[in-house]
Amino acid sequence: MTQPNVVAAHTRAGVRTLALNRPERLNAANDALLLALKAELRAADADHAVRVVVITGAGRGFCAGQDLGDVSGRGGTFSEHLNATYNPLIRAIRGLSKPVITAVNGVAAGAGASLALSGDIRLWAQSASLIEVFSNIGLVPDCGSTWFLPRLVGYHRAFEMMALAGRVRADDALRLGLCEQVFPDDTFGQDVQAYAERLAERPANALKLTKQALNAAMTGTLDEALDQEAALQQLAGEHWEHEEGVTAFKEKRPAHFVRDAL
Ligand code: LHQ
């Protein structure tokens, strides 16, 4: 069962918000938090009322990475730890059939930085920041940072960020493509909810297939992408969302993509 004390969940207007909830540790991750977050993601994926998932942090931090007070004595090797907890979580986010927004309300460090980058849409508060902090403690970046970051900023800038563990602030993050939007701190929660609700009104099936296509295209060839697009377009074209979109266009009215069944 999910422990509500480590991940707080609520749903409004098709948007399920999952707030990492260890604010006194800047939401540093322990096993309970990681397992709870993964369980919440699985539940959100299965729930037809949920059209968008938001991951954010309670308090002034987003996520300070692995809880360093929880490492020694936990048993297992580093790679076992990653394979058992963090990696399934990152895979769950990338594989979720619904858009995931990472709403970065404060500092995102280490595995927390990877988590911040893993969303389909990344929204930042003005005071948020990201630190590839791993080298400060003699570790290599994990949880997908070595995959996400060079694709966003190129090899050289990624290496510099990882080697020097500098803090990237919101304006630079926007310029570098680490986030899509920056909102003021004092309206961040409302702005994220409004953005997510706008996304929730989009055609869910088309977005699911788009996410699938983009994820595959990130590692494939043009030939593979063309084949994949043709296959997925067939599925999209047979879905009621397509008919609704075309009908709405012809009738010069907004399309209505929210129905009980997908
Ligand atoms: C924390 C943490 C934290 C515990 C802040 N743990 N308490 C690693 C190992 C194994 C396998 C899996 O993968 C990984 C991946 C990783 O994530 S490695 C990276 C681990 N994270 C870090 O090294 C970050 C450590 N934290 C910091 O560098 C700073 O706290 C940052 C830059 C995040 C924020 O600095 P400040 O805004 O100045 O806050 P603070 O340092 O005062 O922290 C506030 C409190 O949170 C403080 O507790 P206290 O009781 O003194 O108020 C910190 O001890 C605690 N905290 N991060 N990761």
Which residue owns the Cα nearest ligand 1 atom 27? 64
Which residue owns the Cα nearest ligand 1 atom 11? 78
Q: What does the pLDDT look like over 221-239, one tens digit per residue?
A: 999 999 999 999 999 999 9
Q: Is 84 in the pocket of ligand 1 (CB under 6 A)?
A: no
Q: Is 137 in the pocket of ligand 1 (CB under 6 A)?
A: yes
**% of residues, the chain, pLDDT over 90:** 94
Q: What does the pLDDT look like over 97-108, one tens digit per residue?
A: 999 999 999 999
Tell me, what DSSP letter sits at residue 69? G
Q: What is the average pLDDT score of the chain?
A: 96
Cα gap 42→259, rounded to integer Å: 21
Cα gap 202→51, rounded to integer Å: 9
Average pLDDT over residues 174-191: 98
Enumerate residues 6+ apart whose C-beta is below 8 A from 80.
Answer: none
| Residue whose structure tokens are 């983009």 | 214
Instruction: Determine the distance separating the centroid of ligand 1 and the alpha carbon of 225, expressed in angstroms.
Output: 40
Which residue owns the Cα nearest ligand 1 atom 46? 25
pLDDT greater than 60 at residue 3: no
| Residue whose structure tokens are 């997510």 | 196
SS3 content of the chain, % helix, strand, coil (to 5): 50, 15, 30
Tokens coding 126:
């003005």
Mind listing the domains of the chain with CATH numbers?
A: 7-200 (3.90.226.10), 204-250 (1.10.12.10)
Q: What does the pLDDT look like over 107-130, one tens digit per residue?
A: 999 999 999 999 999 999 999 999
**DSSP H helices in 65-109:** 78-81, 87-95
Confidence of residue 261 (pLDDT cuts 50, 70, 90): low
